[in-house]
Every structure is written in C-alpha cells, then in structure tokens.
C-alpha cells in the first residue's frame, strides 16, 4: 500500500508539472495575441492615414486640375511621381495589414488551444491530487490499524518478558526489564550516531578531495550485495550523498520506481552533483520535503524524503553545494534519499540516475551500478 501511495503521489507530481507547463504556454500565447492585436491595430491606422493622404493629394493632383496648376511639364512629372509613391506606400501598408491580421488570427487560435490544454491539465492535476490524497489516507489508516495491533503485541511481549525475568529470579522484574530496554536503546543510539558521523566525514572528504576517475571495468554488478563505496567525484561532478542502495531504477510490485533510494542516517548531507539553479525547495506530495535543481544542460535532479533543506527557489548552486540532509519524510519506510534524474526538464525524460552520474564521472558502486 505504501508503494501504491508513492505511485499515486508520483502521478500527482507529473500532472502538476504538466499543468505548470500548460499554464506557461497559455501565458506566452496570450502575450503573443496581445502583440499581434497591437500590430494589426497599428497597420490599420497606417492604412487609414495613407488613404487620407492619397485622397487629399489626389483631389488636387489629378486630371485637368493637375495640368492647370502645374508650372510646367517638370511639375506635372513631379506630381505624378508623388501620386505613384503614395500608391506604393498604400499597397505596402495593406500588405502589412494582411500579415498582421493573419498573425492575429493564428495567435487567437493558439491562445484558445493553450487555454483548453491548461484546463485539461488542471483537471488532470486535480484528479491526480484527489487520488493521491485518497491513497495516502488509505495507507495511513492501514498503518494506524497495524500500529495499534503492534502496540498490543508489544504490550503482550513486554508482559511476557517481565514474567520471564521474574521466573529467572529478578527481585523487581519490571525494573530489570526497564534497565534492559534502556541499555539496548543507548547502544542503538550510539551506533546510529557513529554511523552518521562516519557517513558525514566520508561525504565531506569525497566532496573536498577530487579523486581520479576510476576505470568502469571493476564496477560491481547490479546483483552484488556490496554496499556503495565512498562517493567519488571529478572536478565537475559529485555524488548526491553516501549510504547503501536499497532500491534501484526498477519495477517494485508492479510499480516503476523512477529513481534510486540511498539509505543513510537522518542528517547525512546531500549535495548537488552539478552546478545549476534551484527550481523548488519545500513540501512535495509523497516526498514530504524535496529539492529540485535544474542544471546547465537542462536536466533536473530531484531529492525526496529529505529532513531539511538549505537552499531556496531561484538560488544558484555549484557542484558539491550542500543542499539538504537525508530524512524520512512523506511516503517513506526508513531514512533514505530518493534521487531522480529528468533529462529533458521537470518530469520529462526520466532516466536511470546511475548511467547519468557515470557519464559525468561519478561512480558510486553498489547494486544499482
């Protein structure tokens, strides 16, 4: 159900991106229509002005009046040339008007089509949002029911453990059980903190210490259980984070996973692999919180389920900039980074991130390589 909720949220993000593109196209079409109308109005004004000039001059420069008022043959020729010039100007003005009218008609048709597409995209986005909300609510209800059942089982397990400690001779079985739980929690917290520090140090070292590009020959196969090595970089690209691959670009229970999941402790730094501009940073359906960066080649990278972000929309970032930290927000079953690549723009041309990174000199190893 979580995977289905993620897929529904993904569909909402796709339709939302399509809606934004449609709205941008509609705005551009409306601007073009206004320009075309202004040009048509200017052309009509030019034709009217030339018509008046031709009429006024023609009334005194035609027929017998032109001959009688002329000082001689040279003046007649000059007046004839003037009339000819006005005729040419008026013809050109009429041609310009024809062009402007055609452009206006085309712009009106394009504007109507853009508005219709925008309305369709808005309807699709609304439907996708409703479906995503319904799936998320269903998943939440299922989770809550399972959590309640788990709490009941935990209570039963706790009572059984306390009873066992009493049978083993503990004077205060309940206190002994509490001490065991506290000791176990302290060990787990220490291990998690050590893992977070190690991951942060490895990522920082990789970011600040360029390494030579490794040969692709020894890269582990997709089926290899070996966790990814310390992310490497070149002078122009870095790995988005460090951690262990849990899901690759692949089908999961009949649903396509459009990215890679890298499990890491909450707070592990996330970096921009290339220079670019931040498109969005903040709440995102399914992801909880996400950052979107458009790079100089037009591709967009997405960072989902983050715990916190350190950039704002419109901000320019360089390769290696710390943009966020790993989290467990949204439709997530554990702390990880969901990393996507859209090669042709936001939610267009989604592609496997690993070959995309490798083409830019970043080799992370692990089962997704």
Q: pLDDT digit string (tens) for 25-58? A: 888 878 887 887 787 777 677 667 766 666 665 5
Does one domain contain both 225 and 133?
A: no
Does one domain contain both 216 and 329?
A: yes
Cβ atoms of 161 and 181 closer than 8 Å: no
Is 132 a member of any domain? yes
Position 276 scores a pLDDT of 95
- What is the distance between the alpha carbons of residues 251 and 255, in angstroms, rounded to a whole number? 5
Query: How many domains are there within the chain?
Result: 2
Position 225 scores a pLDDT of 36
Q: Please state the rounded mean pLDDT for residues 56-69.
A: 53
- DSSP for residue 215: P
Does one domain contain both 132 and 217?
A: no
Does one domain contain both 230 and 352?
A: yes
Q: Which residues pair with 294 in a beta bridge?
A: 277, 300
Between 106 and 192, name the one with better pLDDT. Answer: 106
Does one domain contain both 118 and 242?
A: no
pLDDT at 234 over 60: no
Between 53 and 283, name the one with better pLDDT. Answer: 283
Identify the domain boundary among 120, 139, 158: 139
- For 247, list phi and psi in degrees, rounded to 5: -140, 140
- DSSP for residue 226: P
Does one domain contain both 135 and 214?
A: no
Is 177 a member of any domain? no
Between 87 and 33, name the one with better pLDDT. Answer: 33
The domain containing residue 336 runs over which residues? Answer: 208-359
Does one domain contain both 321 and 242?
A: yes
Is 261 a member of any domain? yes
Cβ atoms of 268 and 200 closer than 8 Å: yes
Identify the domain boundary among 139, 157, 181: 139
pLDDT band at 309 (very low <50, low <70, confident <90, very high): very high
Q: Please state the rounded mean pLDDT for residues 6-27.
A: 78
Cβ atoms of 23 and 70 closer than 8 Å: no
Between 292 and 190, name the one with better pLDDT. Answer: 292
Strands (E) located in 174-214: none
Does one domain contain both 217 and 317?
A: yes
């Amino acid at each position: 159900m979580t995977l289905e909720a993620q897929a529904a949220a993904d569909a909402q993000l796709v339709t939302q991106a399509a809606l934004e593109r449609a709205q941008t196209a509609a705005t551009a079409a409306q601007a073009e229509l206004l320009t075309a109308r202004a040009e048509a109005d200017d052309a009509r004004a030019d034709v009217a002005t030339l018509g008046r000039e031709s009429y006024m001059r023609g009334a005194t420069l035609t027929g017998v009046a032109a001959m009688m008022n002329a000082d001689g043959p040279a003046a007649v020729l000059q007046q004839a040339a003037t009339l000819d010039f006005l005729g040419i100007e008026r013809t050109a003005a009429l041609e310009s008007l024809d062009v402007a009218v055609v452009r206006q008609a085309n712009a009106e048709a394009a504007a109507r089509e853009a508005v219709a597409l925008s309305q369709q995209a808005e309807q699709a986005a609304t439907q996708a949002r409703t479906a995503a909300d319904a799936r998320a609510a269903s998943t939440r209800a299922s989770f809550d029911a399972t959590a309640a059942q788990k709490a009941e089982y935990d209570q039963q397990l706790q009572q059984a453990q306390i009873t066992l400690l009493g049978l083993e001779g503990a004077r205060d079985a309940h206190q002994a059980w509490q001490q065991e739980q506290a000791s176990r929690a302290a060990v787990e917290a220490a291990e998690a903190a050590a893992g977070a520090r190690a991951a942060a140090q490895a990522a920082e070292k990789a970011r600040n210490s360029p390494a030579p590009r490794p040969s692709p020959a020894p890269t582990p196969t997709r089926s290899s259980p070996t966790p990814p090595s310390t992310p490497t970089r070149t002078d122009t690209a870095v790995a988005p984070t460090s951690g262990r691959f849990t899901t690759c670009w692949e089908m999961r229970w009949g649903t396509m996973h459009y990215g890679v999941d890298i499990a890491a402790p909450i707070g592990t730094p996330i970096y921009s692999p290339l220079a670019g501009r931040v498109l969005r940073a903040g709440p995102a359906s399914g992801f909880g919180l996400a950052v979107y960066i458009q790079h100089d080649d037009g591709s967009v990278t997405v960072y989902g389920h983050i715990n916190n972000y350190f950039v704002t929309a419109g901000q320019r970032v360089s390769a290696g900039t710390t943009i966020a930290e790993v989290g467990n927000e949204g439709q997530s079953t554990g702390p990880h980074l969901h990393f996507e690549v859209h090669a042709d723009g936001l939610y267009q041309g989604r592609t496997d991130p690993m070959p995309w990174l490798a083409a830019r000199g970043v080799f992370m190893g692990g089962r997704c390589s």
